[in-house]
Structure 1
């Protein structure tokens, strides 16, 4: 077993889990997990074992469920954080910018990414109590768990940057349209080149992730309403653009790790989605498998199961946190 192996298949994960789920109750005890980790990491200290268990036992029941086990396999809890290059702009700050840009441009679910915006629309959106910023605040309040904690810490600081007099002044001096890169430079006037690339890459990925999740929620909603062949209104070319952004290793398939979304899609949901569509049982979802679902050509069993795919998030567009 290789911690962090992105090619780990669903079938292999299940086999490993069953091996250590000695009583077949769908959980692994803390003692059994420690045995696994001691084999994987000879000489590991009890302090490190305690820290790892605390990190992966998300519901604090002193047991490891299957989705927590998947977290352990894909996200090595003892790995050192990646520090190169040392970005001065955080992913969470970039996420606030993404939410603002989406709201200000009034982008619809899974629409093409908006690269430029009318300067007058931006001027209205950067007012402190604008509809766009109110929508950003509301969206952040609907995040959950650690993602909510991280994003909420930078929320007001980022909104202050967006609404700053410097940004407004630069917008007044701009031409008819402002593109994403220019706006990012307005928000961070001294941003370094590699930080700028990092932020623009984040914006692109957030767009693809949000689009995919919107598509899946719409399919689930229509199936729940009894529609046999959901009509999402997206063609193969548009779906491929979304797919290509998420397919970071360019292998023509989405792994569970690639599908995990900022705020919306958790490992357990990605795992569930993967098992529904992954006919090859290789732990990944191909573009064809995804399109079969979206255009309504999936098997009856898959489409029926889709009714409950995002049941826990059915009120995402309506409710609060």
Structure 2
């Protein structure tokens, strides 16, 4: 390893799931199925929101961005999990480990910001329906999406660079199923308070800030929904509202459990279990909850399939 990195290790050994030796094959199969369905489901959403004119609205523009993000996000960790399950030793180079840390946190940050943008979009649609097209014009929603991606990609750069400069000595075993900041800090020889505080601050800024905007938007939507006189309209609105809150609750709950808390004396076995949810389960549920249960998306998908069938005939 280059001495400029100030490290005595050139690679890390990912422990993966050491307690699941007898269940590796069925778990590998399950993870592979989940990953495949996640990629296919989200690719379908990206495709139809991009090429179906009836879905050319801000809400579906955000959903298309969100689905593309989910493909990237789950692809950062799912292949590593699959390798962990088929290899006795999963060795990752120092540079590849840092690359995984960067993209994991960058894409996670983008997801937080996109969730906030999507919540704000629904807030405007419900609270100001007559002014919706004026407020959420093409310039505004493109800027919201662009800033979400740019901000998410920039913020993790400094923590990743600082981590690359730390002294890693002794053990090179990462007690996790992928490279992450907190497990890596346990292997550092020198003091890590600056890195821990910086990681805590950035994660808190993204998670708490975007979570506040998201909750405030949905709270305002809830107040409006409760004012609907029609029981059928209120029931329909609550169904969509509850589905969106389910995704938001799972994602933010798991992320805050791991990152927005003190970093000492952590239970990494519990962290691994929680991490599985936001790495595999949430990206799989999102296209179902946000899109495939949506009547407009179903109709658009039928149109696309019908046109394809006609083309084949």
Bucket of the pairwise TM-score, normalised by the shorter protein: under 0.3
Task: Identify which of structures 1 and 2 has the higher relative contact order when contacts are C-alpha pairs closer than 8 Å and 6+ apart.
Answer: 2
With the length of structure 2 as denominator, give the TM-score of the two structures.
0.26
TM-score (norm 1): 0.25
Normalized per residue, which structure has more helix?
Answer: 2
